[in-house]
Chain A
Amino acid sequence: MTVFTYLLMGFLILCAISVSLSKNLLNSILIYMSYSLIMSIIWVILESPDLAITEAAVGAGITSVLFFVTLKKIHAIGGKERSDEQEENGTGIS
């Protein structure tokens, strides 16, 4: 069990570092989701299932969905080229 816990801790630190190092915002959010998931498993190991359920529902579920919607609003998901094109044509200027 301790080996498993140390493995999870290692993944946690790896995720936390790679969130800030990732260039793509979408990848950052996906890594953050997995960070929350690992954190919820660690909560279960630390014998606090209440926190585990909340972490899984809020951290991995709702927060990432809100991040996705925000990225879509600012055209950061797959819209890089399109927004550049708009700038060139002068249509993206309000």
Chain B
Amino acid sequence: MSRKKTEQEYRKTFAFHFFRWLNGEKDPYLGEVEMKPQEPYKETEEEVKARIREKNMISRRLYGVAKSKEMKGLERFYKAASIIFCCILIYLLLFTVSYLPPVGTADRPVNNEVPQRYIENGLQETGAVNIVSGMILDYRAFDTLGESHVLFVATVTVLILLRLDKKKKNDGEISIEEAEANDRIYEPKNDAILQMAAFVLVPIIIIFGIYVILNGHLGPGGGFSGGAIIGAGLILYLNAFGFQKTERFFTEKTYKWISFGSLSFYCIAKSYSFFTGANHLHNIIPKGTPGAILSSGLILPLNIAVGLVVACTMYAFYAMFRKGGF
């Protein structure tokens, strides 16, 4: 029989405190610790001048020190030491390389049964004409999943470091509106040559990227390179026409949903494939005829997923670096 605690008893439990803290209803420091708002940092013109004079004096004195004999000797010693260190490092590395087996011989340690299996049975087992695609998206698909997640984590880190808030908070930080205004002032806009070139080039670049992604299992290319090409096309479009035009089809929400959808699709599709492969279950994904565009099972959709993630990541990197937001 469960007993419902009274309000007074519940207020003493750990769960009450935990959920109150989780929902942000009470600040644990408020009322407990004495706090004073920080005074805004201000300095008069004389102080600024004094500071600059001091800085110039220090730099002059340092410059004088750099001219002295001892410093010159040290500088020369550092230069000589760095050259000797580089030479020793190069010698050690080349010495190690000389012990490696020569390239192209039959009895190298890399010539074991693994590449033999890939080369002989790769086409049958994966259905991909391009063996590299078959390897990275079928045999070693787990590695590729890790790679796409590394890209995603890199974007999240850049987001944490460079993102600006929607609202202005402190005195030092600039809000996203100010950043947009700065961007509008400092970046050249309505450049006729750039716009005309982008007008011609961007569709071709993006179509080439789509071609590279869709032909990943038939020829050279694949998700990563195709996605990078599409990202480059998007960056060119952004440079020519500005953020107002790109916001019509690419916002932060678009980035979020495309990344989330692609990565989770990759996870689910590949876990299904691993599960059926490991447990000898019937695989419902057909291999198709090798050489056709709709062939080789999961490789084509996985390529598309990786390409979408990479294209969005490249565009997001650029937008973050330039403005601090989409």
Interface, chain A (partner B; CB < 8 A): 48-50, 52-54, 57-58, 61-62, 65-66, 69-70, 73, 87-88, 90, 93-94
Contacts and interface: CB of A to CB of B under 8 A. Distances in A.
Contact of A90 (B48, B172, B221, B322): B48
Contacts of A62: 228, 231-232, 235, 314, 317
Nearest to A55: B225
B318 A66 contact: yes
- Among B45, B49, B224, B321, chain A packs the most CB atoms within 10 A around the CB of B321
Contact of B221 (A53, A65, A87, A94): A53
B207 to A, nearest CB: 15
Contacts, number: 55
A50 B228 contact: no
A5 to B, nearest CB: 14
A-B interface, 3 closest residue pairs, ranked by CB to CB distance from nearest: A49-B220, A57-B228, A53-B225
B229 A66 contact: no
Interface string B294-326: 000000000000000000001001100110000
Nearest to A59: B228
A65 to B, nearest CB: 6
A54 B228 contact: yes
Contacts of A54: 224-225, 228
A85 to B, nearest CB: 13
Contact of B225 (A50, A88, A90): A50
A58 B322 contact: no
Given A50-B225, A57-B232, A61-B228, A90 B318 contact: no
Contact of A50 (B45, B52, B220, B229): B220
A69 B318 contact: yes
A58 B222 CA distance: 13
A51 to B, nearest CB: 9
Nearest to B319: A69
Contacts of B314: 62
Given A58-B225, A73-B321, 7 more contacts: A49-B219, A50-B132, A53-B225, A54-B228, A57-B225, A65-B318, A66-B321
A69 B212 contact: no
A53 B22 CA distance: 49
Given A50-B132, A90-B52, A65 B222 contact: no
A65 B235 contact: yes
A65 B322 CA distance: 11
Contact of B49 (A52, A57, A69, A90): A90
19 contacts: A49-B219, A50-B130, A50-B133, A50-B221, A50-B222, A54-B228, A57-B225, A57-B228, A57-B232, A58-B225, A62-B231, A62-B235, A66-B321, A69-B318, A70-B321, A73-B321, A87-B52, A90-B49, A93-B51
Contacts of A53: 212, 220-221, 225, 229
A66 B48 CA distance: 35
A58 B212 CA distance: 14
A53 B220 CA distance: 8
B119 to A, nearest CB: 14
A88 B130 CA distance: 61
Nearest to A68: B321
B232 A94 contact: no
B294 to A, nearest CB: 21
A79 B221 CA distance: 39
Nearest to B224: A54
Given A62-B314, A69-B321, A94 B225 contact: no
A73 B187 CA distance: 11
Contacts of A65: 232, 235, 318
A11 to B, nearest CB: 20
B42 to A, nearest CB: 12
